[in-house]
Structure formats: structure tokens, C-alpha cells
Amino acid sequence: MSGHSGNTELLSTTLAKARSEDRAALIAYLPAGFPTVDGGIAAVKAVVAGGADVVEIGLPHSDPVLDGPVIQTADDIALRGGVRIADVMRTVREAYEATGVPVLVMTYWNPIDRYGIERFSAELAEAGGAGCILPDLPVQESAVWREHAGKHGLATVFVVAPSSQDKRLATITAAGSGFVYAASLMGVTGTRASVGEQAQDLVRRTRATTDLPVCVGLGVSNAEQAREVAGFADGVIVGSAFVKRMLDAPDEAAGLEAVRALAGELAEGVRKR
């Protein structure tokens, strides 16, 4: 392995830059291998061209507890296409090299555990990754991962939810780095009519425990909702809406144009506070 270290610092400066411009960062989620590995890489380039500041690459999983039907559909397509962790790493590498934006991997814990913690963290750093979002890794069981991630310059992003008590929030945010992922609603990902007060309250309670940026995901699908969340959060995370545009498109070229356009609308939304 060459001596790359990860891009956790790039992630921090990107989020700080958005704040200095008095706006929220736009964070786009796309699954690796969807519609194909190359198509997924092209989709990342398209959302960044449209205005995404940070990208999350999903590691497709056959039993996704947090993901709603739209992302499950995309994951199924990727898994049927034979996507592997090596393809996830290639997606990170090519996305980062083409765009220069911070690229994180969002994954359940089991695939990392099976692959090997040291191997996964070393390869992710070597690919230029900025870190991992780990929605189902309990903080109290995360020490070994965090040790390897820290050694390789990778951020560890934990997910907090409206059900998290204040004391629990403090434990989670103390262990995390990069940013805190605030899940705006109980339940699974998907688009919602309103993201609303529960999210605002969660951001306020989370901010009371940490100086890390707090980014809100689950439910944002249009510019109006992006603007609403940008009014109280450091970042707006959008996934299902991008995936849905690609699923609904008649062909890959139309899908890429659709996600680029959506990123443009959302990027405008996070700037109008």
C-alpha cells in the first residue's frame, strides 16, 4: 500500500467553507454499482457538477435496515450486477480523483467486519476516501474501528436519531469525527412531505454536545425542503431523491442529466437561507 492517508481534513475544510459562505453543505448519497459500477461513478460526477459539496457512496447490502424501498431497489440492482467491495473502493477513488470533493462510504458494519477492519480502512484511505458513515455500529463497540480509521486519516460519522436521549447524544458525538449524521425521522430513508420540527429539535440537542457540524438526512427531496433544513443544519443529505431520478429515467444518459439537474436545484436551495 502506498502511504496515502484519508481525507478527513478535506471533509472538515469543505464543511467549514460552506459555513463561511453562510449556507449549508449539500451532501449527495449514491449506491456503488448502480446502475453499473461505471454508471455509478458517472452519477457521482454528475451530482458534483450540479453542485454537491460532499458525496456518500453506499456499500450495497442485502439486508439494509435503514434504507427505504428506493435505495433497496438500487442496492438489489447493484448486487445482481455483482458489485464487490473492490468496486466500492474503485468508485471512491475515481469519484475523488475526478471531482476533488470529499467522498465517504456509508455501510453497515457486517461487510467491514468480514472484510477486515485494517484492510478496509487502509484501502479506503488509499483510494482517497474521507471516512465512513456507520449507521448500525454501536459507539461502545467502535474503538477498534476508530483506532484504525484515525491511523489512516478517516472520519467516523455516527448517526443520531430523534429517539436519542441527551446523555446518549453526548457519548455518540464525543466518539465521532467529521460530522454528525442526524436522522430527521424515526424509520427508514425515503422522501417525506415535511422534514420539520423533529429534525430541528434533534440538531439543537446535538449541537449542545459537540462542535462538529451537524448534517441532516432522511426525507429531503426538493429545493424547498433543502432550504428548510439549511436554515438550521450545517449540511443537507439527499439520497433517495437522486436514486429515484435515476430509476425513473428512460436511459442512463437521461438519468445522469436528471441527477445533475436535481443537484443544481438542491444546491440553490441550501444557499437561500
Active site residues: 56, 67
Rounded-to-integer distance, Cα 112 and Cα 89, Å: 12
Pick from 179, 188, 268, 256: which is nearest to 225 by CA? 268
Residue 24 DSSP one-character state? P
Q: Which helix (H) or strand (E) holds 56?
A: strand 54-58
Alpha-carbon distance of 58 to 76, in angstroms, equals 12
Angle between helices 117-126 and 143-151 (to 10 degrees): 30
Tell me the one-letter amino acid at 251.
D
The DSSP bridge partners found for residue 165 are none
Residues whose CB falls within 8 Å of the CB of residue 18, separated by 6 or more in sequence, listed in order:
24, 25, 53, 234, 235, 270
In this structure, what C-alpha cell is assigned to residue 205?
A: 440537542
Residue located via cell numbers 412531505: 193
The residues facing 159 across adjacent strands are 181
